[in-house]
Amino acid sequence: MTLEIIKPGISTTIQDLGRPGYFHLGIPEGGAMDRLALRSANLLVGNPEDAACLEAVFMGPEIKFGADGVVAVTGAEMPMTLDGEPREAWTSFEVKAGQTLKFGFLTTGARLYIAISGGIDTPADLGSRSTYPIGALGGIEGRAVQEGDSLPVGSASGAAAGRSIPEELRRHPSDPEELRVLPGLYWDRLTDAAKASFFEDEWMVASEADRMGYRFKGGRALDFVEREAPFGAGADPSNIVDGCYSYGSIQVPGGTEPIVLHRDAVSGGGYFTLGAIISADMDLIGQLQPNTTVRFKRVDMDEALAARKEQSAVLEKIRSHLG
């Protein structure tokens, strides 16, 4: 079984749940930006949750199937047709050899996940098929898919078509959206006025929003507490002596435009990070379009852990519904 890429879209990459364990060496975990959507797509077609899927951002690819199989599409909302016939998202459907899947215009969300029974079976690098283009790892020779690529597909479990995830278990972004933040190590670099304005202001997703990071614009610039620059840190008040970055950490170079580091982020550098987006909201960022209005909401560790529990409960419900 193979999948043939007729049109690749803007950036369509092979992703699974990533390659944890190498971030200290500078290799990010990578994997699906919206992990719940990828898990959901895999569960719908009877794959292990960490099987490799296609992640397409803003534009759907055009795909021709080389053999019969079962397919499910989750994540962003984008109308789709199989040989011209409409198909439902978040619902598994049969495909026949020679049929073509096409997508219309994106309505809400940002990233589609396309799972096929058996999973995409390209070679794994460091335990994952996820594409990390900067490091040339995973995917097809380390890159996004291109027109004419033929992707190998593994053996299917024989799951039935027509399985669906109930509406209340599908996560859709809204506009405006809220992202929860846990203040972190360098929070005290900001003045009290900046600490307040960061949470008061409306921010907008900039067009520089990709798998490495999401940039936000439109809020007031942040002022820093005066200091004597430590040895090794740059003169800019947003500089620090190089430190580690975490997934979701928020750096604000020059105090002007916050950048949230995402799955393909760098692991360290010389910008202060005011805190981090909580893990429960990271999938949501992966579904934000440019120009979406966002407010950051301050939470404490207990609230962050409770939100993570809620997210895990949603996944459990999806598992038991499809079990």
Partner 1 sequence: MADIQAPAPGTFYHRPSPEEDPFKAKGDTVAEGDVIGLVEVMKTFVEVKAETAGTFGGYVADNESAVKAGAVLATVES
Residues lying near partner 1 in the complex (CB under 8 A): 10-11, 57-59, 104-107, 207-210, 289-291
Is residue 9 within 8 Å of 26, Cβ to Cβ?
A: no
**Least spacing, CB of residue 52 vs partner 1, in Å:** 22
**Least spacing, CB of residue 117 vs partner 1, in Å:** 29
Calculate the dihedral angle through the C-alpha atoms of 313, 88, 128, 266, rounding to the nearest 10 degrees. -80
Is residue 56 within 8 Å of 9, Cβ to Cβ?
A: yes
Q: Which residue's CB is nearer to partner 1, number 92 or number 130?
A: 130
Q: Which residue's CB is nearer to partner 1, number 7 or number 308?
A: 7
Residue 290 and residue 208: Cα distance in Å, rounded?
Answer: 8
Is residue 112 within 8 Å of 73, Cβ to Cβ?
A: yes
**Least spacing, CB of residue 106 vs partner 1, in Å:** 4
Q: Which residue's CB is nearer to partner 1, number 106 or number 276?
A: 106
Residue 252 and residue 212: Cα distance in Å, rounded?
Answer: 15
Q: Which residue's CB is nearer to partner 1, number 278 or number 284?
A: 284
Q: Which residue's CB is nearer to partner 1, number 11 or number 92?
A: 11
Q: Which residue's CB is nearer to partner 1, number 128 or number 289?
A: 289
114 CB contacts (<8 Å, ≥6 apart)?
A: 41, 53, 54, 56, 61, 63, 71, 72, 73, 101
**Least spacing, CB of residue 218 vs partner 1, in Å:** 12
| Tokens, residue 255 | 């105090």
**Least spacing, CB of residue 105 vs partner 1, in Å:** 3
**Least spacing, CB of residue 209 vs partner 1, in Å:** 6
Question: CA angle 125-127-128, nearest 5°?
Answer: 70
Closest CA to 34 of 54, 48, 62, 60: 54
